[in-house]
Amino acid sequence: MFYREAGDFKTSYVEDSQTFPIKFDRYRYYFVLVCAFAVVPFVINDYWVNAIFMPFLIYSIAAIGLNILVGYCGQVSLGTGGFMAVGAYGCYKLMTAFPDVSIFFHIIAAGGITALVGVLFGLPSLRIKGFYLAVATLAAQFFLVWLFNRVPWFYNYSASGQISAPERTIFGIEVTGANTEAWATYLFCLVFTVASAIVARNLTRGAQGRKWMAIRDMDIAAEIIGVDPLKAKLSAFAVSSFFVGISGALFFAVYLGAVEVGEAFGINKSFLVLFMVIIGGLGSIFGSFAGAAFLVLLPVLLKNVLVAGLGWPTDLAAHLEFMIVGALIIAFLIAEPHGLAQLWRVMKEKLRLWPFPH
């Protein structure tokens, strides 16, 4: 009843198969986009951007990329942190080598470089799967971190071993460096997040997405009906790594400004993004946003309630966060494997029928 579907008729296949076939859904998402682009930039400050909005936007892109690989194609990956590092270092080398080119194109090119690396490390998926593929991608994680640590060319022979983002502008407004405005960095990340979500949504709803899901459900049956496992698996690795590389480039250039690969892109980062996908929901673009929002907001909530409000020690609140995340992952895997996205779908169906029970 809340949706008011009476009179919302479909007169073509295009209308019936659109992303949001219910008019109320479309208006709600349009409203969210208008608020995100036209309202939020005028009311946020540095704390809100650095603590909540930018981590949420960047991790959402990483979760979308990993969800394409794990949720839609069924290929387990534990190398997300390493691929984010590829995007970060690729962006850094492009920024220093081509200072006159826009940072916008540097980030996209960094995503392309990461896609090539992802295809290279995705080759074992043609012969192995499951736990063995997870170990192979975990090896990629450790190898990439070791590579960026041990080869001075990647950090331009800096004595500290760190990389720092030079100042770059978009339409005369700084988006990297020490003098950036909160609203500018927020809008810059928001553009990439919205574009990534639209591209990923259309890919997963099209022919390529159906091939990925066929491989996920049963690769032998998919091959029998004409799906090429080579192209399907490697394309999933490429697209996934492209989004993860973009998130890594944004994480380095716009959010942190300076990183050391072992601290910023270690194995903890891989597990963090994987937890976002599991809690949010495998095989769901909305689930990627929900999982990212949950794991970004949870530490902030615990810090404000337990540390600032109740006076608990900071380390105790941090340990409690690990306990809560672990318990939620176990609970979702047992009770609701499709995560927060499935809970949202069930709630929408109940709202469509309310106050009727069926």
What are the 10-residue block averages of pLDDT along the chain, 358 residues in total?
66 78 81 92 90 94 95 92 95 92 94 95 86 90 93 88 89 87 93 95 92 91 90 94 96 91 90 92 92 89 79 81 83 83 85 69
| Distance of alpha carbon 335 from alpha carbon 356, whole angstroms | 26
Q: Does one domain contain both 319 and 177?
A: yes
**Which of helix, strand or coil describes residue 11?**
coil
Closest by CA position to 254, among listed 175, 195, 187, 196:
175
**Which of helix, strand or coil describes residue 136?**
helix
Q: Does one domain contain both 144 and 9?
A: no
Prediction pTM value: 0.93
Q: Is residue 188 part of a domain?
A: yes
Q: Does one domain contain both 155 and 176?
A: yes
Q: Does one domain contain both 288 and 173?
A: yes
How much is the pLDDT for 325?
Answer: 81
- The residue count for the chain: 358
Do the Cβ atoms of 208 and 45 come closer than 8 Å?
Answer: no
Closest by CA position to 266, among listed 113, 94, 83:
83
Q: Does one domain contain both 78 and 182?
A: yes
Q: Does one domain contain both 28 and 135?
A: no
Look up the domain containing 36 and give its range: 1-43
Contact residues for 143 (Cβ-Cβ < 8 A; gap 6+) = 82
Helix, strand, coil % in the chain, rounded to nearest 5: 75, 5, 25
How much is the pLDDT for 333?
Answer: 80
Q: Does one domain contain both 150 and 261?
A: yes
How much is the pLDDT for 254?
Answer: 93
How much is the pLDDT for 2?
Answer: 58
Domain count, the chain: 2
Q: Is residue 358 part of a domain?
A: no
Q: Does one domain contain both 241 and 327?
A: yes
